């Protein structure tokens, strides 16, 4: 983040035609958050919905992420204004809201993201105020990026109405819930034609509305494909998955050596 130009670096990247590659944090630990931040991700998403991470864990993790240079983002537990505002006040510079199913849901999200007159965010940003001081109220909307998750049948049916709501940067595909909603097996990086078509449709409609499209990916190969198709943001491989895969590979390696 650059204090001289408070525009969110991910948004600055998009303006230059660069997609964002972000990591995904499920381990409630500032040390691993800092370590991954120093690896060069554009941003790191703290997953409060599906990982054992609470608000105080998230504050420590966001502080550690900033040390490493990545942008701290939060996938909130539920699309509630109080949750959005608490995470923004604690220093998240991006919000990914799950299960946005209708224009009303999108309006609730947009309202919580912006101060009046654009929205209804309450003033009391703790960590952003430490950073930006009194000018924060004027620049807050430029520091924040936001995504509404499309991952249900109603989200798909109401996609155009959701995309028409002002104040949200784009939509973010939750592939597991989307697959479940379409009658497929829950899972990421799906090759089921129904899911693949729905993901393409979400990206195309987002771009038709001049909005950003993001997606959660497990494997780097899948993330590369999604970038090549035109996604503006890919979240790739949660930290827990990276740790388990690396541990298994190391163990296999050691045990293979001890057999020979």
Q: Is 190 in the site for ligand 3PY (CB under 6 A)?
A: no
Select the binding partner of residue 14 from Mg ion, ligand 3PY, none (C-beta < 5 to 8 A, by kind).
none
Q: Is residue 50 among the annotated active site residues?
A: yes
* Cα separation, 201 vs 219, whole angstroms: 21
Select the binding partner of residue 41 from Mg ion, ligand 3PY, none (C-beta < 5 to 8 A, by kind).
none
Residues contacting 6, CB < 8 A, separation 6+: 132, 139, 142, 143
Select the binding partner of residue 216 from ligand 3PY, Mg ion, none (C-beta < 5 to 8 A, by kind).
ligand 3PY
* Cα separation, 44 vs 36, whole angstroms: 8
Q: Is 174 in the site for ligand 3PY (CB under 6 A)?
A: yes
Select the binding partner of residue 155 from Mg ion, ligand 3PY, none (C-beta < 5 to 8 A, by kind).
none
Whole-Å CA distances, 232 to 131, 197, 222, 225, 229 = 27, 18, 14, 12, 9
Q: Is 57 in the site for ligand 3PY (CB under 6 A)?
A: no
Q: Give the shortest CB-178-to-Mg ion separation in angstroms.
A: 8
Near ligand 3PY in 196-225, by CB under 6 A: 216
C-beta of residue 223 within 8 angstroms of C-beta of residue 21: yes
Q: Is 170 in the site for ligand 3PY (CB under 6 A)?
A: no
Please identify, using beta-carbon distances, which residue of 89 and 151 lies nearer to ligand 3PY.
Answer: 151
Q: Is 43 in the site for ligand 3PY (CB under 6 A)?
A: no
- Of the candidates 177, 205, 211, 235, which one interacts with Mg ion according to CB under 5 A? 177
Q: Is 175 in the site for ligand 3PY (CB under 6 A)?
A: yes
Bridge-based pairing state of the strands 20-25 and 43-47? parallel
- Of the candidates 32, 101, 176, 237, which one interacts with ligand 3PY according to CB under 6 A? 176
Q: Could you list the active site residues?
A: 50
Binding site for Mg ion (CB under 5 A): 151, 174, 177
Binding site for ligand 3PY (CB under 6 A): 151, 174-177, 188, 216
């Amino acid at each position: 983040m650059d204090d001289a130009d408070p525009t969110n670096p991910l948004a600055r990247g998009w303006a230059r035609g660069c997609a964002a590659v972000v990591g995904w944090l499920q381990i409630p630990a500032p040390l691993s958050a800092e370590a991954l931040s120093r690896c060069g991700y554009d941003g790191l998403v703290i997953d409060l919905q599906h990982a054992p991470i609470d608000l105080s864990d998230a504050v420590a993790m966001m502080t550690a992420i900033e040390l490493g240079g990545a942008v701290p983002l939060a996938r909130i537990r539920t699309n509630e204004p109080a949750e959005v505002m608490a995470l923004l006040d604690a220093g998240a510079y991006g919000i990914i809201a799950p299960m946005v199913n209708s224009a009303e849901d999108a309006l609730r999200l947009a309202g919580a993201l912006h101060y009046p007159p654009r929205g209804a965010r309450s003033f009391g940003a703790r960590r952003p105020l430490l950073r930006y001081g009194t000018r924060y109220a004027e620049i807050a909307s430029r520091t924040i990026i936001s995504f509404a998750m499309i991952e249900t049948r109603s989200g798909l049916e109401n996609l155009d109405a959701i995309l028409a709501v002002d104040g949200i940067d784009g939509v973010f595909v939750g592939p597991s819930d989307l697959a479940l909603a379409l009658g497929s097996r829950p899972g990421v990086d799906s090759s089921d034609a129904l899911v693949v078509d729905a993901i393409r449709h979400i990206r195309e409609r987002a771009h038709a509305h001049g909005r950003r499209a993001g997606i959660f990916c497990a494997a780097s190969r899948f993330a590369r494909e999604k970038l090549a198709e035109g996604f503006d943001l890919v979240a790739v491989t949660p930290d827990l998955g990276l740790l388990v895969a690396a541990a298994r590979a190391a163990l296999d390696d050691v045990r293979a050596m001890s057999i020979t």
